[in-house]
């Protein structure tokens, strides 16, 4: 049910700190193409929220005029929730199902709007006690609503198949056809009422591996001090590790790299046991729910065929010579005899400063997105002009950036804009999300407008790819061009190749466990080390320490998820390539994708728009773009 989805995502927000992890209209957690650290403004220079110009604030009055309007809607939702029990035990007629689904949508839509308003006000100033309380009130309301309507899915699934088929075929329920089809598809893996109740009781136990890893990794893990570029002893932390890997000083990079993995090596038995427990938990659920494998269980929710996953891995294997070529170029640009794993994040060119004001960023993005046509540009301008965007940092404001909103109103974008290239790409990224929601919401009814995480990063990354193409084509400064090419090429490396390597590691360790093999620290390290050798090629000296990297990746506790980063990036690159090469026909297909929301299975929505992720073609198209980038970089280094 949509309400259940809304509730779970709202709850997830309270425990996820990523600036790209938000409910409903969600960024899925990936960063924009250019991932350098934002320059932070010193606290004593920050404006208070009350001092920020209204022109640079979003307009939350488009959600609710004032607190009184919020309170009135809240009271109305309580009344609607009380009506839910009227349908319990009675979902056996077309009319009762339609009325119940209509009530579900009304409640869910209102709860979404109430929560979004409260939380976005809180994000303006996270110290504000009024909106802290209001956010908690909205969250509790969502949980109460979910509990009140929790009977709906089990009741409908208890119906005979012919009854469900009749509901699916009935024109009165045409707005809910896809929902009912999904219920029937899931039915084969739903157990008896008693068995489901038993599984629900062990649900908290199933979170133990992830919880234990989180505590060990975030609370108990302590890294040694290392010497920085100036010979000063500094504390090494999770947060500072990437900074030291990006250091121009190779000794600093090496010291940080070795210190991190030596620390994980001391905990290898505990972490291996934790990861193994997570894999065994997955196997338990897949077998109890009668799936052929954990991989197929994990893909089933989005109705993704196993071939999508295996095609990604196979096609990236086919494209590994491109990554090997990039490693050879990286080695040349760094001027080293041996390229080591700790050199992968080292800057290839000197920092190229690009001062870009917010107004210039908006203008440049609009120019870069010209290939998408006047309709898209008009919607983009509407977002610029009409209170969608909260632009600058202020005291207490949430960090990072996101796109969010509620059905029935326009989307919103939170920024902490600095006058640099990264901030411009962040704006392009978030407006991609925003316009995806804008088109879906305007084209579809509430239930069908909610797109999946599998699709979420496609529109945002398509915007970035088109903007990058525009910047590269207009650049005449070789240093600027190399700076742009380096960042773009590294995004391919980290988002496509690296995430696919992670995905292959997950696949291999689950297959080993499903065959009865033990996931010992040595077995995990051997698998991971061999993958690094395979992916990085002969120009990389694969350091023995990298064999322990599996121990620090939290994504492995959210199994078979990371492949979506690679497929989303590939789909976006394919879209941008088609748009640039074909023009209007490709634009029309892309706008059709934006208007499709979640009205069909994700794979079908992409396929109708010209990106068939069940085939290797989109990944190959993305790899051809990567190859062109490397060629341009090679030409600039001659």
Q: Do the bridges between strand 339-340 and strand 540-541 make them parallel or antiparallel, or are there none, so unpaired? A: parallel
Can you tell me the distance from the alpha carbon of 575 to that of 609, in angstroms, rounded to the nearest whole number?
9
Report d(CA 584, CA 587) in Å as an integer.
5
Positions marked catalytic: 430
List, in sequence order, every residue forming a beta bridge with 21; answer none if it has no partner.
Answer: 28
Half-sphere exposure of 409 (CA within 13 A, CB side): 24
CB 620 within 8 A of CB 315: yes
How many CB atoms are closer than 10 A to CB 423?
A: 23
Residues 6+ apart with CB under 8 A from 42: none
Beta-strand pair 233-235/225-227: antiparallel
Q: Which helix (H) or strand (E) holds 339?
A: strand 339-340
What is the full DSSP assignment across 121-174?
HHHH-TT-HHHHHHHHHHHHHHHHHHHHTTTHHHHHHTS-HHHHHHHHH-GGGG
SS (HEC) of 378-446: HHHHHHHHCCCEECCCCCCCCCCCEEECCCCCCCEEECCCCCCHHHHHHHHHHHHHHHHHHHHHHHCCH
State the Cα–Cα distance between residues 565 and 196, nearest whole angstrom. Answer: 32
**214/217 Cα distance (integer angstroms):** 5
328 vs 346: CA distance, rounded Å: 14
Residues in a beta bridge with 389: 413
Closest by CA position to 264, among listed 530, 583, 544: 544
């Amino acid at each position: 049910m949509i309400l259940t989805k809304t509730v779970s995502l709202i709850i997830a927000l309270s425990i996820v700190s990523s600036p790209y992890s938000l409910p409903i209209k969600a960024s899925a957690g990936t960063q924009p193409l250019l991932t350098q650290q934002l320059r932070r403004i010193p606290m004593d220079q920050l404006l208070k929220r009350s001092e920020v110009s209204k022109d640079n604030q979003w307009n939350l009055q488009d959600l609710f005029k004032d607190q009184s309007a919020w309170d009135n809607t809240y009271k109305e939702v309580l009344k609607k929730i009380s009506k839910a029990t009227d349908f319990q035990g009675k979902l056996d007629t077309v009319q009762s199902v339609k009325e119940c689904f209509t009530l579900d949508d009304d409640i869910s839509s209102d709860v979404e709007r109430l929560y979004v308003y409260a939380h976005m006000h809180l994000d303006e100033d996270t110290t504000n006690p009024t909106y802290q309380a209001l956010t908690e009130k909205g969250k509790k309301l969502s949980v109460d609503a979910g509990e009140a309507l929790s009977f709906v899915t089990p009741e409908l699934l208890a119906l005979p198949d012919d009854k469900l088929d009749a509901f699916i075929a009935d024109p009165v329920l045409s707005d809910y056809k896809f929902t009912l089809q999904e219920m029937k598809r899931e039915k084969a893996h739903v157990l008896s009422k008693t068995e489901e109740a038993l599984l629900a009781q062990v649900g908290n136990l199933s979170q133990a591996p992830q919880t234990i890893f989180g505590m060990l990794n975030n609370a108990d893990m302590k890294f040694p001090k290392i010497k920085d570029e100036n010979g000063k002893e500094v504390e090494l932390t999770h947060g500072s590790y990437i900074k030291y890997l990006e250091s121009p000083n190779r000794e600093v990079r090496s010291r940080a790299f070795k210190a991190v993995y030596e620390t994980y090596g001391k905990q290898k038995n505990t972490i291996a046991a934790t990861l193994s427990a997570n894999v065994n938990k997955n196997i338990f659920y897949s077998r109890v729910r009668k799936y052929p494998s954990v991989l197929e269980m994990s893909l089933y929710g989005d109705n993704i065929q196993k071939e999508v996953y295996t095609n990604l891995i196979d096609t990236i294997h086919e494209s590994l010579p491109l990554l090997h070529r990039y490693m050879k170029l990286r080695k040349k640009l760094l001027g080293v005899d041996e390229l080591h794993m700790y050199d992968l994040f080292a800057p290839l060119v000197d920092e190229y400063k690009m001062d870009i004001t917010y107004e210039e960023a908006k203008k440049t993005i609009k120019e870069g997105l010209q290939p998408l046509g006047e309709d898209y540009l008009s919607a983009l301008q509407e977002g610029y002009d009409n209170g969608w965007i909260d632009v600058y940092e202020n005291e207490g404001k949430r960090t990072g950036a996101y796109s969010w909103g509620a059905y029935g109103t326009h989307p919103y974008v939170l920024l902490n804009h600095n006058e640099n290239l990264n901030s411009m790409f962040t704006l392009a990224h978030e407006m991609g999300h925003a316009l995806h929601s804008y088109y879906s919401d305007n084209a579809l009814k509430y239930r069908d407008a909610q797109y999946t995480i599998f699709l979420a990063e496609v529109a945002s990354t398509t915007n970035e790819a088109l903007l990058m193409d525009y910047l590269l084509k207009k650049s005449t400064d070789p240093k600027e061009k190399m700076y742009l090419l380096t960042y773009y090429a590294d995004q391919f490396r980290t988002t496509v190749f690296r995430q696919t390597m992670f995905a292959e590691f997950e696949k291999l360790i689950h297959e080993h466990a499903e065959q009865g093999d033990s996931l010992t620290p040595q077995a995990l390290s051997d698998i991971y080390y061999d993958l690094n050798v395979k992916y990085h090629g002969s120009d990389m000296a694969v350091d023995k320490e990298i064999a322990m990297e599996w121990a620090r990746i939290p994504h492995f506790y959210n199994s078979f998820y990371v492949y979506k980063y690679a497929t989303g990036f590939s789909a976006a690159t394919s879209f941008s390539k088609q748009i640039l090469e074909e023009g209007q026909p490709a634009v029309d297909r892309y706008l059709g994708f934006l208007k499709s929301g979640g009205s069909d299975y994700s794979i079908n929505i992409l396929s109708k728009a010209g990106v068939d992720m069940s085939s290797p073609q989109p990944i190959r198209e993305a790899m051809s773009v990567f190859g062109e980038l490397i060629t341009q970089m090679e030409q600039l280094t001659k």
